[in-house]
Amino acid sequence: MRILTFRKGGVHPPESKFTKDKRIETMEEVEEVLVPLHQHTGAPAQPLVKLKDTVKKGQKIGDSDAKVTSPVHSPISGEVVKLVETTLPNSRKSVAVLIKNDHEEIWDDSVKPRNDVDSLSREDLLKIIREAGIVGLGGAAFPTHIKLMPPPNFPVDTLIINGAECEPYLTGDYRLMLEEGESVIKGVEILTRILGVKKTFIGVEENKSDAAVSLDKIVHSMGLDKDIEVVLLRTKYPQGSEKHLIKAITGREVPSGGLPFHVGCIVQNVGTTYAIKRAVYDGVPLIERVITVSGSGVMEPKNLKVRIGTIASHVIEFCGGARENIKKIIFGGPMMGFSAYTLDLPVIKGTSGILLFTDQELIEYEEYPCIRCGRCVDACPMGLMPLFIDGYSRMGDFDKAEEFRALDCIECGSCAYVCPSKRHLVQSIRMAKTEIIKKRKAVRK
User: In sequence order, which ranges of 283-372 are alpha helices (DSSP H)?
Assistant: 312-318
For residue 50, the surrounding DSSP H or E stretch is none
Predicted local distance difference test score (pLDDT) of residue 336: 94
Predicted local distance difference test score (pLDDT) of residue 246: 97
Q: What is the pLDDT of residues 179-230, one digit of tens each?
A: 999 999 999 999 999 999 989 999 999 999 999 999 999 999 999 999 999 9
Integer Cα distance of 89 and 98 in angstroms: 17
Q: To 10 degrees, the CA torsion angle through 286, 26, 293, 3?
A: -70
Predicted local distance difference test score (pLDDT) of residue 1: 67
Q: What is the pLDDT of residues 238-295, one digit of tens each?
A: 999 999 999 999 999 999 989 999 999 999 999 999 999 999 999 999 999 999 999 9
Predicted local distance difference test score (pLDDT) of residue 290: 98
**Domain(s) of CATH 3.10.20.600: residues in the chain:** 24-111+285-357
What is the sign of the dihedral through the CA atoms of 235, 240, 244 and 246?
Answer: positive
- For Cα atoms 129, 134, 88, give the angle at the middle one, nearest 5 degrees: 160
Integer Cα distance of 344 and 199 in angstroms: 44
Integer Cα distance of 214 and 308 in angstroms: 29
CATH 3.10.150.10 fits 24-111+285-357, yes or no: no
Among the listed residues 214, 188, 213, the one whose alpha carbon sits nearest the alpha carbon of residue 200? 188
CA distances from 162 to 136, 137, 138, 269, 387 (A): 11, 11, 9, 5, 30
Integer Cα distance of 132 and 73 in angstroms: 8
Residue spans of the chain under pLDDT 70: 1
Among the listed residues 331, 311, 423, the one whose alpha carbon sits nearest the alpha carbon of residue 141? 331
Q: Which residues are 304's β-sheet partners?
A: 25, 291
CA distances from 247 to 18, 180, 229, 267 (A): 29, 27, 16, 12
Predicted local distance difference test score (pLDDT) of residue 363: 75
CB 246 within 8 A of CB 160: yes
**Domain(s) of CATH 3.40.50.11540: residues in the chain:** 120-282
Predicted local distance difference test score (pLDDT) of residue 299: 97
CB 208 within 8 A of CB 165: yes
CATH architecture of 120-282: 3-Layer(aba) Sandwich (3.40)
Integer Cα distance of 85 and 97 in angstroms: 9
Predicted local distance difference test score (pLDDT) of residue 361: 86
Q: Is 34 helix (H, G, I), strand (E, B) or coil?
A: strand
> Which amino acid would we find at residue 12?
H
Report pTM: 0.95
**Residue 273: partners with Cβ closer than 8 Å, 6 or more residues away:** 161, 184, 187, 188, 191
Predicted local distance difference test score (pLDDT) of residue 29: 83
